[in-house]
């Protein structure tokens, strides 16, 4: 077990990509190397507890990717500051982009970075806004190796205090889940946009465990372990649950060909919102949607009106 943990980061950084589905609707696009699968199954044969610890380590370890060329101008032109979040004693890297006093908060998803929503940021700046984004703990340039959504939420609350107020906020994937929870917690914004947001935390964990080739029992153990660590039922962080306490206008954007999160997640979130609007696209997937012109124009119009 210790040896597997020590080599985990190196193995994760070389994972190949593959379209893959599971019957709960969530579909991991990451093909887990056979060495990881074999390790998980071996530990499962020895002890479900060991397999649970192994899965938990993987589940909370984001990938760090190089900034692609399309994001480099935002990286170079933004004002970057390292900030410590006292409540969790972890670091984030903040990106201030543009000079307008009307600010929009951008939140990336799992294994993302502060410049990932660059096309949206550029359009917002042209429309008269500036943006604030960040590398979450253990993401991008931020220090650390592990993170979770609760830490994303703490980062958002700190940013509101130190960089707000924000007129609106836009979140991709886990970033969308984060923002729904942050608004529930008191984030004061006028409008919210989620793109490809996940929903039920337990469904996401179940899909991850199945992708590892482990028994569903490990998923239940994994959730119980996280519940104990956090001190509450992590399903309360599910997007549709948080949506019940969100009373501002929310635009939900989701693609029918999203291979990470099912379209049903968007519709479930919509059902629980008091002021929700749904935009369904096709052929853009989970990440290409961030650069689509029609999507970006819809976001600008939604925030301005």
pLDDT of residue 30: 56
One DSSP character per residue, 59-71 reads HT-----PPPGGG
Q: Which two tokens stand for residue 82?
A: 């390292």
Q: Which two tokens stand for residue 299?
A: 């976001």
Q: Which domains does the chain have, with CATH numbers?
A: 2-61+201-229 (no CATH), 69-199+238-304 (3.40.50.1820)
pLDDT of residue 175: 98
Q: Is the CA virtual torsion 207, 210, 216, 217 positive or negative?
A: negative
pLDDT of residue 138: 97
**Closest by CA position to 287, among listed 265, 258, 263:** 258
**Closest by CA position to 290, among listed 155, 211, 212, 195:** 195
252 DSSP β-pair partners: 194, 278
What's the distance, CA 60 to chain centroid? 12
> Which phi-psi region, left, alpha or beta, contains residue 34 (left: φ > 0; alpha: ψ -120 to 50)?
alpha
One DSSP character per residue, 191-234 reads EEEEES----HHHHHHHHHHHTT--HHHHHHHHHHHHHHHTS-G
Give yes or no for a contact between 119 and 290, defined as CB atoms under 8 angstroms apart. Answer: yes
Give yes or no for a contact between 171 and 103, defined as CB atoms under 8 angstroms apart. Answer: no
pLDDT of residue 25: 54
The tally of CA atoms less than 13 A away on the side-chain side of residue 161 is 11
**Closest by CA position to 290, among listed 153, 126, 127, 170:** 170
The angle that helices 2-12 and 48-59 make with each other, rounded to 10 degrees, is 30
96 DSSP β-pair partners: 79, 132
Query: Cα separation of 106 and 117, whole Å?
Result: 7
pTM for the full model? 0.88
293 DSSP β-pair partners: none
**Closest by CA position to 105, among listed 170, 149, 200:** 170
pLDDT of residue 35: 86
Query: Cα separation of 192 and 200, whole Å?
Result: 19
Please report, in tens digits, the pLDDT of each residue of the chain (305 residues total): 333 333 333 333 333 333 344 444 544 455 677 888 889 999 999 999 999 999 999 999 998 889 999 999 999 999 999 999 999 999 999 999 999 999 999 999 999 999 999 999 999 999 999 999 999 999 999 999 999 999 999 999 999 999 999 999 999 999 999 999 999 999 999 999 999 999 999 999 999 899 888 999 999 999 999 999 999 999 999 999 999 999 999 999 999 999 999 999 999 999 999 999 999 999 999 999 999 999 999 999 999 99
CB proximity list for 258: less than 8 A, separation 6 or greater? 196, 285, 286, 289
């Amino acid at each position: 077990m210790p040896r597997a943990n020590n080599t985990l980061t190196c193995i994760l950084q070389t994972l190949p990509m593959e379209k893959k589905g599971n019957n709960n609707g969530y579909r991991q696009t990451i093909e887990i190397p056979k060495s990881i699968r074999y390790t998980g199954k071996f530990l499962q044969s020895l002890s479900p507890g060991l397999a649970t610890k192994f899965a938990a380590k993987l589940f909370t370890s984001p990938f760090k990717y190089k900034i692609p060329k399309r994001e480099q101008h935002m990286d170079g032109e933004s004002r970057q500051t390292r900030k410590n979040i006292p409540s969790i004693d972890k670091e984030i890297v903040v990106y201030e982009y543009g000079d307008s006093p009307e600010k929009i908060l951008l939140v990336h998803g799992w294994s993302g970075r502060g410049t990932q929503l660059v096309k949206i940021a550029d359009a917002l700046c042209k429309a008269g806004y500036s943006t604030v984004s960040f590398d979450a703990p253990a993401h991008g340039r931020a220090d650390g190796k592990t993170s979770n959504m609760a830490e994303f939420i703490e980062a958002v609350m700190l940013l509101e205090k130190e960089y707000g107020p924000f007129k609106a906020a836009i979140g991709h994937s886990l970033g969308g889940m984060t923002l729904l929870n942050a608004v529930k917690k008191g984030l004061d914004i006028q409008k919210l946009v989620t793109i490809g947001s996940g929903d039920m935390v337990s469904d996401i964990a179940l899909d991850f465990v199945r992708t590892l080739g482990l028994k569903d029992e490990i998923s239940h153990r994994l959730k119980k372990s996280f519940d104990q660590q956090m001190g509450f039922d992590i399903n309360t962080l599910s997007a549709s649950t948080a949506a019940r306490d969100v009373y501002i206008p929310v635009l939900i954007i989701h693609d029918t060909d999203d291979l990470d999160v099912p379209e049903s997640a968007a519709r479930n979130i919509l059902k629980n919102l008091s002021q929700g609007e749904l935009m369904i696209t096709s052929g853009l997937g989970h990440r290409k949607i961030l650069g689509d012109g029609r999507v970006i124009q819809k976001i600008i119009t939604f925030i301005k009106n």
